[in-house]
Structure 1
Amino acid sequence: MSVTFELNAEVRTDVGKGASRRLRHANKVPAVIYGGGKDPVSLTMEHDKLFHALENEAFYSHILTIKVDGKGEKAIMRDLQRHPSKPRVMHADFQRVSATEKIHMNVPLHFENEEEAVGVKEQGGQVSHNATDVEISCLAKDLPEYISVDVAALEVGHALHLSDLVLPEGVELVQLALGEGHDQPVVSIHMPRVVAIEEEEEAIEGGEEAAEGEEAPE
């Protein structure tokens, strides 16, 4: 079942550092919503409800419903400021979305079948994640919660690149639109460093023994 997120907010007319400080002391978060052909509006949100929503990974890549004084607006989260040492949200930015305009969003990658991958199960390799999310472009209705990356067939010494990802319909990768040079790897499998060193040493020793055998008198 698809996850939905709805946050209540109130219009904030008292702005400035002092006003924001007073809001935080009252366990509220100063925020702003902008875009969509409308003027920016300063908002106030309940801290604990926003903080709880942020614990869900899907919140960061979903179309949210921001109810401003009871009227819902569709938006995505664009920026979030956290306290450097305390579990506190200091400020949040939201951007309104249109049903007819494409949006750019970073969505997480979910890696599947890592333990069953050929390079891991049969060849003793280790999986390395070269990326944890990707930037996509799509209409709001096509925004995926995440993109799956199946590594079952991946072997040691090989990698899956952006162009190998299976994307939902209507979704494009922003980096690939920039050209072939931007087709970066997202996951690879390599031999553990200790094993690689041991194999290299064995190869060297084998070469030395073969050389000694050639030099030995008949």
Structure 2
Amino acid sequence: MSEVKLAAETRTEFGKGAARRIRRENKVPGVVYGHGGETVHITLPGHELLLALRTPNVLLSLDIDGKNELAIPKAVQRDPLKGFLEHVDLLLVKRGEKVTVELPIVTEGELAPGSNILEHVLNTLSVETEATHIPESVTVSVEGLDAGDSVAAKDIKLPSGTTLAVDEDAVVLQVLAAQAEEAPAEAEGDEAAAEA
């Protein structure tokens, strides 16, 4: 779990015009909320935030007007074409507090021999874990799985201190039998016979 320090500035201007001015200065508008307190509108350094968000569920140590706060990203809005950050929502957390997050699922191992296809029913796994010890991902072994086999949420070994926040019987991965394709030459022969 990586912790990234960022200097945040509170902002008093709102709306599209203000947001555009902030982004022109290579900063990102955002809000910080949680623990029953008031929502705080902030600006964050754009490049540093972009680098921090490359790590899933990164823990941000924010310096907001001299006060240090811990937060995790809750919602990130990006420009659909250019990909730059438009806005970020951050949730305040405390050390030792449990939070619900989505962990990316990473697979390892080889499927059983044959033309089988591994389908990711879920790309992320919802878990509850300590805010300052969020794992980067969960690893699932698919070694030797054959067509018809599946992996349920309860079958995944979670890091210590982490519990499932989804139904334990939810299917995460399943192995499908590959469909055999008809050879193109045979298909052309069938069409010619049908025309005759």
Q: TM-score higher than 0.5 here?
A: yes
Alpha-carbon displacement from aligned partner over 1:116-165 (angstroms, at most 9, x marks no partner): 23x2xx23322221111011112214421111111113222101111111
**Is residue 2:171 matched to residue 1:194?**
no
Q: Find the residue that maps to 1:38 and give its secondary structure.
A: coil
**Is residue 2:15 matched to residue 1:16?**
yes
Q: Find the residue that maps to 2:161 and give its secondary structure.
A: coil
Post-superposition offset of 1:100: 4.1
One-letter amino acid of the counterpart of residue 108, structure 2: E
Q: Mapping of 1:91-106 within 5 angstroms?
A: 91-106=87-102
Q: Find the residue that maps to 1:39 and give its secondary structure.
A: coil
**Alignment gaps of 5+ in structure 1:** 199-218
Q: Mapping of 1:74-153 within 5 angstroms?
A: 74-113=70-109, 116-117=110-111, 119=112, 122-153=113-144
User: Which residue of 2 is the match for residue 49 of structure 1?
Assistant: 48
One-letter amino acid of the counterpart of residue 28, structure 2: V
> What is the root-mean-square deviation in Å for CA atoms of aligned residues?
2.2
User: Which residue of 2 is the match for residue 206 of structure 1?
Assistant: none
User: Which residue of 1 is the match for residue 24 of structure 2?
Assistant: 25
User: How does the TM-score come out when normalised to structure 2?
Assistant: 0.82
Write the distance in 1 (CA, Å) between the matches of 2:62 and 2:108: 33
User: How does the TM-score come out when normalised to structure 1?
Assistant: 0.75
Q: Is this contact kept in 1: 2:2–2:59, CA < 8 A?
A: no
- Which 4+ runs in 1 deviate beyond 6 A? none
Question: % of aligned pairs identical?
Answer: 33
Q: Find the residue that maps to 1:22 and give its secondary structure.
A: helix
Q: Find the residue that maps to 1:18 and give its secondary structure.
A: helix
Write the distance in 2 (CA, Å) between the matches of 1:159 and 1:98: 37
- Structure 1 residues 63 and 53 mapped into 2: Cα distance closer, same or farther (>3 Å)? closer
Q: Is this contact kept in 2: 1:142–1:169, CA < 8 A?
A: no
Write the distance in 1 (CA, Å) between the matches of 2:166 and 2:15: 38
User: Which residue of 2 is the match for residue 202 of structure 1?
Assistant: none
Alpha-carbon displacement from aligned partner over 1:80-109 (angstroms, at most 9, x marks no partner): 111232222111010110234321111111
Q: Is this contact kept in 2: 1:135–1:174, CA < 8 A?
A: yes
- Structure 1 residues 161 and 88 mapped into 2: Cα distance closer, same or farther (>3 Å)? same
Q: Is this contact kept in 2: 1:65–1:72, CA < 8 A?
A: yes
Count the aligned residue pairs: 183
> Between Structure 1 and Structure 2, which shows a larger proportion of strand residues?
2
Write the distance in 1 (CA, Å) between the matches of 2:83 and 2:94: 32
One-letter amino acid of the counterpart of residue 192, structure 1: A
Greater Cα radius of gyration, structure 1 or 2: 1
Q: Find the residue that maps to 1:24 and give its secondary structure.
A: helix
Q: Is this contact kept in 2: 1:8–1:45, CA < 8 A?
A: yes
One-letter amino acid of the counterpart of residue 185, structure 1: V
User: Which residue of 2 is the match for residue 166 of structure 1?
Assistant: 157
Q: Is this contact kept in 1: 2:52–2:58, CA < 8 A?
A: no
